[in-house]
Amino acid sequence: MTTRWLSPDEQRAWRAYIAASLLLEDTIDRQLQQEAGMPHLYYSILANLSETPERRLRMTELAEGLKITRPRLTYAVARLEKDGLVRRESCQWDKRGSVAVLTDEGVAVLERAAPGHVETVRAALFDRLTPEQVGQLEEIFTSVTAGLQGEGGPAEEVPWRRRSSPSCS
């Protein structure tokens, strides 16, 4: 079958997206590197942890939530642990497992970094969009995410989350 090339409209959209996403990640990484000494991904790890009730998450669950590979997460958490922002505990119920826990210092760093980060995201993105465009953005990328991993299989259960006992330490 002959290739279905991109239409001119699609070309333009694709190029606009590629260019902007590179610039955007660059901008955000640089800002966070400056003000928090870590790249965007590492900030996101802290942020994700901070949103759970116990500020802890299984490594795999964290990796899935962030859409990154496990080796990448292992490396990142090792660094954050060295900096004292995250602690690693092994999971009681599954001795293979390990759990990343946000430390108090991690919370502090996150809270210090958050305003600047949000400001950057606003300045680079949301301040330039109409409310309709915000909706469009969400729709488009939600659909893309669904396509790219929805096919891979739905979310599965995560052992420790179903306990409400104090910890997996």
The residues that touch DNA, with contacts defined as CB under 7 A, are: 26, 29-30, 33, 38-39, 41-42, 58-61, 68-79, 88, 91, 94-99
In 3-state terms, what secondary structure has residue 110?
helix
Number of H helices, E strands in the chain: 6, 3
Of the candidates 42, 46, 49, the one whose C-alpha atom is nearest the C-alpha of residue 28 is 42
Query: CB–CB of 56/164 below 8 Å?
Result: no
Q: Which does 19 bind (CB under 5 to 8 A by kind): a copy of itself, DNA, none?
A: a copy of itself
3-state SS assignment for residue 141: helix
Out of 51, 138, 163, 167, which residue is the one contacting a copy of itself (CB under 8 A)? 138
Residue 124 binds what, of DNA, a copy of itself, none (CB under 5 to 8 Å, by partner type)?
A: a copy of itself
75, 104, 108, 115: which one contacts a copy of itself (CB under 8 A)?
115
Given candidates 75, 105, 112, 133, which one binds a copy of itself under the rule CB under 8 A?
A: 133
Please select the residue that binds a copy of itself; options are 82, 96, 128, 162, rule is CB under 8 A. 128
Structure tokens at 44: 């996101």
In Å, how far are 93, 124, 146 from 140, measured between CA atoms? 39, 19, 10
Contact call for residue 169 and a copy of itself (CB under 8 A): no
Spatial contact of 85 and 106, defined as CB atoms under 8 Å apart: yes
- Positions in 44-63 near a copy of itself (CB under 8 A): 44
107 scored as a contact of a copy of itself (CB under 8 A) = no
Partner in contact with 24, chosen from DNA, a copy of itself, none, beta carbon below 5 to 8 Å by kind = a copy of itself
Which residue among 53, 71, 131, 153 contacts a copy of itself (CB under 8 A)? 131
Per-residue CA distances from 162 to 17, 156, 165 (Å): 39, 12, 9
- Does residue number 93 form part of the binding site for a copy of itself (CB under 8 A)? no
